[in-house]
Amino acid sequence: MTKVEAVGLVVDHRDDHDSAAAAMEAVSDPVVAAATGREAEFAEHGWDTAEVDPWTFLRSKLNWGELDEPAHVRLVSCYRKLLALRREHASLSDPWLTHVSVDYDEAARWIVVHRGTLALVCNLGEDHAAVPIAGIPLLSWEPPTVGRSATTVPGHSFTLLATAPPAER
């Protein structure tokens, strides 16, 4: 297991953000503003927006008719629960990387992102993974098995755990 502290990785983009925000405020139509912002973003990377394939745009549009399909109902429900948890737990929307730490095991294919008393535990592998962290599951894609010192997460799944404060881990 390797521990990575995200200290000192905060990048300040205030100059870029301020100029982009000013440009957006100058445009009153949100659709035009989004397109203008995207064109400016592409231009910064040297991409020509005139060369964008129309099929790329069409296949990227949401198909609202899919919302009734079980897999989509499940995904939308998960997003709604996550949004509710972000409102309940300030650490989920804290933008400072200095408040984040990460544990991972590349061979076992899991990663844990710690933010305050919350831990996002992700299993990127196909098989169940026993991850050395315990807590109370707040949201999961597939139900985990939580033990005293480890949480077993099914393959290609995640769980968001409420854990002990960092000093007590």
**Between 21 and 136, whose confidence is greater?**
136
Give pLDDT, residue 149.
95
Tally of CA atoms within 13 A in the half-sphere of 68 that contains its CB: 1
Neighbouring CB atoms inside 10 A of 54's CB total 7
Q: Specify the pTM.
A: 0.66
Give pLDDT, residue 54.
81
**Look-up: residue for tokens 């992700």?**
122
**Look-up: residue for tokens 């992102």?**
113
Q: How far apart are CA 56 and CA 38, in angstroms?
A: 14
Give pLDDT, residue 121.
98
Read off the pLDDT of each residue in 19-34 and give the average, rounded to a whole number: 54
**For 59-114, what is each residue's pLDDT tens digit?**
888 888 888 999 999 999 999 999 999 999 999 999 999 999 999 999 999 999 99
- Report the mean per-residue pLDDT for the chain: 81
Contacts of 108 (CB under 8 A, 6+ apart): 125, 129, 131
pLDDT of 35 > 90? The answer is no
**For 113-125, what is each residue's pLDDT tens digit?**
999 999 999 999 9
Binned at pLDDT 50, 70 and 90, residue 150 comes out as very high
Contacts of 101 (CB under 8 A, 6+ apart): 3, 4, 5, 6, 113, 114, 166
Q: What percent of the chain has pLDDT over 70?
A: 75
**In the chain, what are the helix, strand and coil shares in percent, each to the nearest 5?**
40, 25, 35
Give pLDDT, residue 15.
44
pLDDT of 6 > 60? The answer is no
**For 45-73, what is each residue's pLDDT tens digit?**
777 766 667 888 788 888 888 889 999 99
Burial class (CB in 10 A: 0-12, 13-18, 19+), 19: exposed
Alpha helices in the chain (DSSP H): 14-25, 30-44, 54-60, 70-88
Tally of CA atoms within 13 A in the half-sphere of 113 that contains its CB: 14
CB 139 within 8 A of CB 85: yes
